[in-house]
Amino acid sequence: MRESTPVVVIGAGPAGLTLANLLRLAGVGCVVLERQSRSHVARRQRAGVLDYASTRIFEEWGLAETLLAGMPEDRVLEIRVDGEPHLLDMRALSGGRTGRAIPQQVLVARLMAAFLDGGGDLRFDAGEVTPHDLDGTAPKVTYRDADGTLHEIACDYIAGCDGYHGVTRESVPAEAMTTYSYDHGIGWFTVLADAPPPRRPLFAISAHGFAAQFPRGPAACRLYLECAPDDMPADWNDDRVWEQSRLRLGDDALPTGPITDKAVVEMRSFVVDPMRYGRLFLVGDAAHIITPMGGKGMNLAIADADVLARALRAAVHDGDEEPLAAYSATCLRRVWNQQEFSRWLTELTHEAGDSALAGTFRRQLARARLDRLFASGPAGRAFADLMAGG
Ligand code: APR
């Protein structure tokens, strides 16, 4: 089976689905190939916050109403230190640039529906997806459908939106990209629970170890608990999860509920430079991963998709390849800014509590940084600015 399209998008996570929608709105034809089934993609629960920059992207493309209806604003962040609450008014500190709390699977379901309702071509269960001839002028992608039929799609550009473990980055010669990676030296254990969510996103700092609790819709929450880097989910039975949560959040009356998912999060960062090879453009996790601290993974993917959609529109409609030439550098500036923010926040929140991690001197430094964050307007505004993204 042979066919052609201007752009093949590989992967239908937040990056691929955002890009596919923006390309459709830009009048650029594309085919999306996803390895998994539709129900698998729709069920995957991960991120839960759209920063302000992402909400602006969806507003500018006229998608905000479709995608964000009913999703609450993230107005206040609580940082609880040794059980004492400090409320950061993110709305005021950011000059009104607040994000939205939206479970990833809700956003993904709405992106899928919007693309398919608009006549988009999204193919699930695509096996053996392989990009070819990336460095020439006529790339193509082959894949095998669920019935075993081999397909070949000729295209002008390929968007690698297939996540960290995808096939597109692997198809680039190693010497064509520089890789940066960093192990943050801590572990995070995370659970999803059908338990009452906190009134606001919450970071908790104490000598018992870092913890965070975030709403995931009206009746569920996600908890993150600092743990040993080599911990396994089996090390955390439900009793230990709730006992440690109560202790670290300083809340003896913390409401509990059934735990629906447990996982150990790899606290690792990774960036490739450039995010392009010939006619292949890497988007989202295919090009960079970031720890969940700061909630930027999904937002970086959406920002990449926006830059690429605009650049592909210029290339396909106007023959102007300059925005495509700038794609990687434009995205990497934002990526490194957010990597730095995420690392800074990780140090702040972990070292301020746990002196075993970095010693008592660094613990005092982290406490001083926290005091500055709570007491100084400019420090609070700089923090809120980074949380807003962009
Ligand atoms: N062929 C086709 N599809 C593939 C292949 C392949 N060989 N390999 C992976 N995929 C698909 C995956 O099944 C998945 O649906 O690509 C998609 C990649 O999605 P994500 O891993 O979610 O990556 P991305 O879209 O960049 O997500 C950005 O959102 O919450 C998050 O943690 C996530 O930080 C990440 C962010």
Q: What is the pLDDT of residue 208?
A: 94
Q: What is the pLDDT of residue 348?
A: 95
Q: 320 and 196: one domain?
A: no
Answer whether 47 contacts ligand 1 (Cβ < 6 A): yes
Q: Taking 80 as the threshold, does the pLDDT of residue 182 lie above it?
A: yes
Structure tokens at 96: 């009104």
Q: Taking 80 as the threshold, does the pLDDT of residue 355 lie above it?
A: no
Q: What is the mean pLDDT of residues 88-115?
A: 95
Asked if the structure places residue 82 within a domain, the reply is: no
Separation of CA 78 and ligand 1 centre (Å): 31
Q: Which of 389, 388, 390 is nearest to 97 (CA)?
A: 388
Q: 34 and 153: one domain?
A: yes
Asked if the structure places residue 88 within a domain, the reply is: no
Q: 36 and 116: one domain?
A: yes
Contact 202, 212 (CB under 8 A): yes
CATH number reported for the structural domain that contains residue 207 in this entry? 3.30.9.10
Q: What is the pLDDT of residue 84?
A: 95
Asked if the structure places residue 309 within a domain, the reply is: yes
Q: Taking 90 as the threshold, does the pLDDT of residue 178 lie above it?
A: yes
Separation of CA 14 and ligand 1 centre (Å): 7
- Cβ atoms within 10 A of the Cβ of 340, count? 11
Please tell me the total number of residues recorded for the chain in this structure: 390
Separation of CA 128 and ligand 1 centre (Å): 15
Strand duo 221-227 + 211-215: pairing: antiparallel
Q: 153 and 105: one domain?
A: yes
Q: What is the pLDDT of residue 358?
A: 84
Q: What is the pLDDT of residue 320?
A: 98
Q: What is the pLDDT of residue 117?
A: 96
Contact 288, 271 (CB under 8 A): yes
Q: What is the pLDDT of residue 354?
A: 79
Confidence of residue 216 (pLDDT cuts 50, 70, 90): confident
Q: 205 and 294: one domain?
A: no
Q: What is the pLDDT of residue 43?
A: 85
The secondary structure of residue 274, as a DSSP letter, is S
Q: Which domain does 241 fall in, by range?
A: 185-267+353-387
Q: Taking 90 as the threshold, does the pLDDT of residue 280 lie above it?
A: yes
Q: What is the mean pLDDT of residues 307-321?
A: 98
Q: What is the pLDDT of residue 57?
A: 98
Q: Is 261 helix (H, G, I), strand (E, B) or coil?
A: strand
Confidence of residue 138 (pLDDT cuts 50, 70, 90): very high
Residue indicated by tokens 């960093």: 182
Q: 336 and 381: one domain?
A: no
Separation of CA 11 and ligand 1 centre (Å): 6
Q: How many domains does the chain have?
A: 2
Q: What is the mean pLDDT of residues 366-375?
A: 96
Pocket probe mutation, ligand 1, options 9, 32, 35, 104, max atoms within 8 Å of Cβ: 35
Q: 280 and 156: one domain?
A: yes
Q: 152 and 208: one domain?
A: no
Asked if the structure places residue 228 within a domain, the reply is: yes
- Cβ atoms within 10 A of the Cβ of 267, count? 20
Q: What is the mean pLDDT of residues 170-192?
A: 96
Q: Taking 80 as the threshold, does the pLDDT of residue 6 lie above it?
A: yes
CA angle 96, 100, 101 (to 5 degrees): 140
Q: Taking 80 as the threshold, does the pLDDT of residue 312 lie above it?
A: yes
Asked if the structure places residue 36 within a domain, the reply is: yes
Asked if the structure places residue 79 within a domain, the reply is: no
Asked if the structure places residue 283 within a domain, the reply is: yes
Task: Report pLDDT digits (tens) over 285-302.
Answer: 999 999 999 999 999 999
CA dist 81 and 108 (Å) reads 34
Q: What is the pLDDT of residue 1?
A: 77
CATH number reported for the structural domain that contains residue 157 in this entry? 3.50.50.60
Q: 121 and 219: one domain?
A: no
Q: 134 and 61: one domain?
A: yes
Q: 107 and 65: one domain?
A: yes
Answer whether 12 contacts ligand 1 (Cβ < 6 A): yes
Give the least confident one: 73-77, 142-146, 287-291, 383-387: 73-77
Q: 334 and 359: one domain?
A: no
Answer whether 222 contacts ligand 1 (Cβ < 6 A): no
- pTM for this entry: 0.96
The DSSP H or E segment spanning 273 is strand 268-273
Asked if the structure places residue 89 within a domain, the reply is: no
Protein residue whose Cα sits closest to atom 8 of ligand 1? 166
